[in-house]
A = this chain, B = another copy of it.
């Protein structure tokens, strides 16, 4: 089915980079996950959801907007928001302007939750990633991750970049 002779295998440099990235991608989520689970009873994705809401005007976002900001599919987000709603951390109500849409808003309890969880999570991110790198490496990482994102999700990469450079658009 496949003729090996035509395949460009990875040379040692390429292989070294790929094996290490694969290990990071495999292990890093688990590390952050267990810190949050232990200290705040939150999954990393749940934290990200609450965090994005906490940065939004009125602590409110539409499902679709929240989905793109969290790199999630809509079904996945829907389930997670349902669970968070059951715990009283967010509220859901139909959008008055477009009645297909639903708005998600952080409750007071949810706000408290993020504020309490943030320092610990930040410490974990610092310890395992940010503070492990030199300033040069930090800049390199942004460029590298950007290049990869451009391949795996061209639209989202560009959109996220826009959001970041103009924080206050609708």
Given that A1-B116, A2-B116, A145-B20 are contacting pairs, would A151 and B137 also be in contact in the complex, using a CB cutoff of 8 Å?
A: no
Please choose the segment from A26-34, A86-94, A100-108 that sits at the chain B interface, where 4 or more of its residues have CB less than 8 A away. A26-34
In the complex, what residues of B have CB within 8 A of residue A141's CB?
Answer: 17, 20-21, 140, 144
Q: Are the CB atoms of B144 and A137 closer together than 8 Å?
A: yes
In the complex, what residues of B have CB within 8 A of residue A28's CB?
Answer: 25, 148, 152
Interface centre among A1, A119, A133, A152 (most CB of B within 10 A): A152
| C-alpha gap A23/B143 in the complex (Å) | 13
Q: Which residue of B lies closest to A140 (CB)?
A: B140
Q: Are the CB atoms of A145 and B23 closer together than 8 Å?
A: yes
Q: Are the CB atoms of B149 and A24 closer together than 8 Å?
A: yes
A38 contacts the other chain (CB 8 A):
no
In the complex, what residues of B have CB within 8 A of residue A122's CB?
Answer: 7-10
Given that A27-B152, A137-B143, A148-B28 are contacting pairs, would A19 and B164 also be in contact in the complex, using a CB cutoff of 8 Å?
A: yes
A13 contacts the other chain (CB 8 A):
yes
A 91-128 to B, binary, CB cutoff 8 A, 1 in contact else 0: 00000000000000000000000011011101001111
Closest Cβ–Cβ distance, residue A29 to chain B (whole Å): 6
A65 contacts the other chain (CB 8 A):
no
Given that A71-B26, A152-B31 are contacting pairs, would A145 and B7 also be in contact in the complex, using a CB cutoff of 8 Å?
A: no
Q: Which residue of B lies closest to A3 (CB)?
A: B119
A150 contacts the other chain (CB 8 A):
yes
Q: Are the CB atoms of B126 and A151 closer together than 8 Å?
A: no
Residues of A within 8 A of B (CB): 1-2, 4, 6-10, 13-14, 16-29, 31, 48, 71, 115-116, 118-120, 122, 125-130, 132-133, 135, 137-153, 156-157, 160, 164
